[in-house]
């Protein structure tokens, strides 16, 4: 698939954001299918061999952290990563963001509801995106508090809102919520601490 080409600064590899977005989407679809499938032995063996082949291909294309695409492409869905539930940022400025998220079957906890760990994972990802904004020093999560108000159901478009609450020197407080229609499913508050120069 062809798409907008990013600057070619990765040792001659031409990055294609549309193709990469489709690859991450296909990975998500695969994980959703894996989570509910009951493959027999020969099918599992065939899939294992195919995956090992692709792991080898990708292993030969490994890059330094700063040059990687996974989770580092602001223009594409979920910043181009499949580690968290899928999301898309609709509006964003320095004060926060609004967006939509969808928890696929890969994130199933039980009885049709999302896994309790997937909800904080999504908050940490979104908070990190807001806090680590343009021109600000990188910051790490010091604490993340989540209140689970109602179950997060799978395969539904959920509303996201994240906003900066206040700042005290290196300490930045941020809040967010996940809604299913009018129902607030989860609320979260976190403290991020800006790193000093040289701090890992
Ligand atoms: C990965 C992000 C950074 C890298 C970014 C680089 C490139 C950007 C590209 C993409 C990334 C963008 C977004 C990524 C998306 C998501 C990532 C989200 C971020 C994370 O997922 S990151 C992983 C989890 N995170 C950790 O792995 C932290 C482990 N930890 C530490 O690294 C230290 O612990 C640290 C640095 C937090 C603080 O350590 P420190 O030595 O620098 O500072 P210190 O302890 O002095 O605290 C200073 C003041 O904060 C208060 N304070 C501290 N902790 C507190 C707590 N828990 N409760 C209440 N208050 C607290 C103190 O009381 C003091 O307050 P006061 O100044 O008023 O006395």
Question: 183 and 91 in one domain?
Answer: yes
pLDDT of residue 5: 41
**Banded pLDDT at 13 (limits 50, 70, 90):** confident
**Which residues does a 6 A CB cutoff place in the pocket of ligand 1?**
72, 124-125, 128-129, 132, 138, 140-143, 170-171, 191, 193, 199
pLDDT digits (tens, 9 = 90+) for 46-73: 999 999 999 999 999 999 999 999 999 9
Sign of torsion over alpha carbons 31, 79, 170, 161: negative
Question: 169 and 147 in one domain?
Answer: yes
Question: 142 and 62 in one domain?
Answer: no
Shortest-distance Cα residue to atom 29 of ligand 1: 142
Domain's final residue, options 73, 102, 130: 73
> What percent of the chain clears pLDDT 70, i.e. is strictly above it?
94
Helices marked H in the chain: 17-36, 41-59, 118-131
Helices marked H in 61-172: 118-131
In a domain, 38, yes or no: yes
pLDDT at 10 over 70: no
The three-point CA angle 82-76-97 to 5° equals 95
Name the helix (H) or strand (E) containing 92: strand 86-93
pLDDT digits (tens, 9 = 90+) for 114-129: 999 999 999 999 999 9
Domain's final residue, options 40, 73, 106: 73
| Owning domain of residue 52 | 1-73
Ligand 1 centre from 141 Cα, in Å? 4
């Amino acid at each position: 698939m062809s798409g907008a080409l990013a600057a070619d600064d990765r040792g001659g590899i031409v990055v294609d954001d549309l193709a990469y977005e489709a690859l991450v989407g296909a990975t998500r679809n695969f994980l959703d299918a894996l989570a509910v499938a009951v493959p027999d032995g020969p099918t599992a063996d065939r899939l294992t061999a195919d995956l090992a082949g692709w792991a080898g291909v990708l292993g030969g294309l490994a890059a330094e952290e700063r040059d990687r695409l996974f989770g580092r492409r602001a223009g594409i869905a979920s910043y181009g990563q499949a580690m968290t539930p899928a999301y898309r940022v609709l509006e964003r400025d320095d004060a926060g963001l609004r967006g939509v998220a969808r928890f696929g079957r890969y994130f199933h906890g039980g009885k049709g509801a999302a896994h309790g760990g997937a909800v904080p994972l999504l908050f940490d990802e979104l908070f990190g995106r807001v806090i680590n904004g343009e021109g600000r020093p990188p910051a790490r999560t010091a604490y993340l508090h989540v209140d689970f108000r109602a179950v997060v159901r799978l395969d539904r478009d959920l509303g996201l809102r994240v906003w900066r609450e206040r700042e005290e020197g290196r300490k930045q407080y941020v809040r967010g919520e996940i809604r299913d229609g009018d129902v607030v499913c989860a609320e979260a508050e976190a403290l991020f601490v800006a790193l000093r120069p040289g701090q890992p």
